[in-house]
Amino acid sequence: MTAKYAIIIPDGAADEPLEQFDEKTPIEAARTPNMDRISTLGKQGLVRTIPAKMEPGSDVAQMSLLGYDPKRYYTGRAPIEAVARNIKLSLTDWVFRCNLITIADGKMADHSAGHISTAEATSLIEELDNQLGSEQMRFHAGVSYRHLLVSKDLDFDVQTYPPHDHIGTAMDKLLPRGKNADVLIDLMARSQQVFTGHDINRVRKDLGENQVSSIWLWGQGKRAQMERFEKKFGLRGAAITAVDLVKGLARLIGFDLIDVPGATGFIDTNYQGKASAAIAALDEYDIVFVHVEAPDEASHGGDAEMKKRAIELIDEHIVGPVFEALQNHQSWRMLVMPDHPTLTRTCAHSSEPVPFAIAGDSISGILHTTFGETNAAKSGFRIDNGFELMEYFLKS
Ligand SMILES: [Zn+2]
């Protein structure tokens, strides 16, 4: 009888102590009786999910916590998103994340063009592909501001920049550099001509919403090749998430994806729907992975109160019910952890270690403390190679 495993990821939930929370972090200030139950019943510690010299993205962090060394497997963000959208890539194709952004006064003003709707964005991307696309360069429409560009027959060795980590920076400081960077710069410049004066922008202007100034190309790579989780750890898995990046990663390791209606990737997501889907999946799969984007989006907006609220909603409507459901299984373990910190002070990701809490079969702690960055650090339990956590979670 194999044990049942549940993993809950409040994306970007880790942070620093904040004055507005009396020097507590958002996790520590939030009401989290269920996360506290796990860290008290079981144990907690700190884990470094971002290896040295790597970008602190959700892709790198979640590759680690799923048991895969990013130093070995990581090829860029965009190839992972391409898998999520079933875009077929040859081994020589390059794929780029293509954001719709807002530029103001020559600076990066908004990485999401005001969280543009998928409908508006799709028609802009289709127009762009009509005007600038070819067999060699194909634009693929996605969700809200997140799209992809696939390039054939060209090789790249470029430095590019995640827009959400450079809000307020002058554009000329962020332009791509390196082999064939000029091709990317030219595409971005020509996209500005397509968008200037476009009907959709005129309506957005009237409504006082951020306009689409340009595409922004970053997160590039070639097709990733990863061993299936079932082969690596002997367990069949499923994942629940609203975000393409996580869907792509889950598919790359052979997890089934479970769609939940109303999962938005924001504070208004369908928490209860995610929990009941996870509980049902525990009957069919050995391991279930539930990812919730809301705390990260709140952090990128610099909104600590919204972040705290998202953490409370995840605790109440997902961690609690899933924990209860696991009690019905003979043998179980549960892991709750952010994938990386996203600091509300800087609105950007950080590479600092994150707290994790584990409970279940033969996992007993000594400290029995409430969940949070401070107590996790005090525990003295530390995993420096994040990809080793999965082995510990499954087999210790
Ligand atoms: Zn993340």
CA of 33 to the centre of ligand 1 (A): 23
Taking a C-beta distance cutoff of 8 angstroms, is the pair 190, 196 a contact?
no
Average pLDDT of the residues in 306-321: 98
Q: Is the pLDDT of residue 172 over 90?
A: yes
pLDDT of 322: 98
Tokens at 307, concatenated: 């972040």
Query: Average pLDDT over the chain, rounded to whole?
Result: 95
Q: pTM to 2 decimals?
A: 0.90
For residue 27, pLDDT over 80 is answered with: yes
Alpha carbon of 339 to ligand 1 centroid (Å): 6
Task: Report, as an integer, the average pLDDT of 359-363.
Answer: 94
Q: Residue 129's Cα: distance from chain center in Å? A: 27
Distances (CA, A) of 321 to 35, 313, 371, 384: 12, 12, 18, 31
CA of 263 relative to ligand 1 center, distance in Å? 16
Band of the pLDDT at 109, cuts 50, 70, 90? very high
The pLDDT tens digits for 316-347 are 999 999 999 999 999 999 999 999 999 999 99
Residue 145 has pLDDT above 70, yes or no: yes
Distance from Cα 138 to the centre of ligand 1, integer Å? 27
What fold characterizes domain 4-75+225-395?
A: Alkaline Phosphatase, subunit A (3.40.720)
CB 221 within 8 A of CB 111: no
Report the SS3 class of residue 167. coil
Q: How far is Cα 151 from Cα 223, in angstroms, rounded to an integer?
A: 12
24 pLDDT tier (thresholds 50, 70, 90): very high
The alpha carbon of 24 and the centre of ligand 1 are apart by a number of angstroms equal to 21
Where in 222-268 does DSSP place strands (E)? 237-240, 256-257
154-174 mean pLDDT: 93
pLDDT bracket for residue 1 (50, 70, 90): low
Centroid of chain to Cα 384: 21
Which pLDDT score, from 0 to 100, does residue 38 have? 97
> How many Å lie between the centroid of ligand 1 and the Cα of residue 370?
23
Tokens, residue 381: 């339990």
- Taking the centre of ligand 1 as the mean of its atom positions, its distance from the CA of residue 266, in whole angstroms, is 13
In the chain, the percentage of residues whose pLDDT exceeds 90 is 92
**Rounded distance from Cα 351 to ligand 1 centre (Å):** 11
Domain segments of the chain as ranges: 4-75+225-395, 84-221
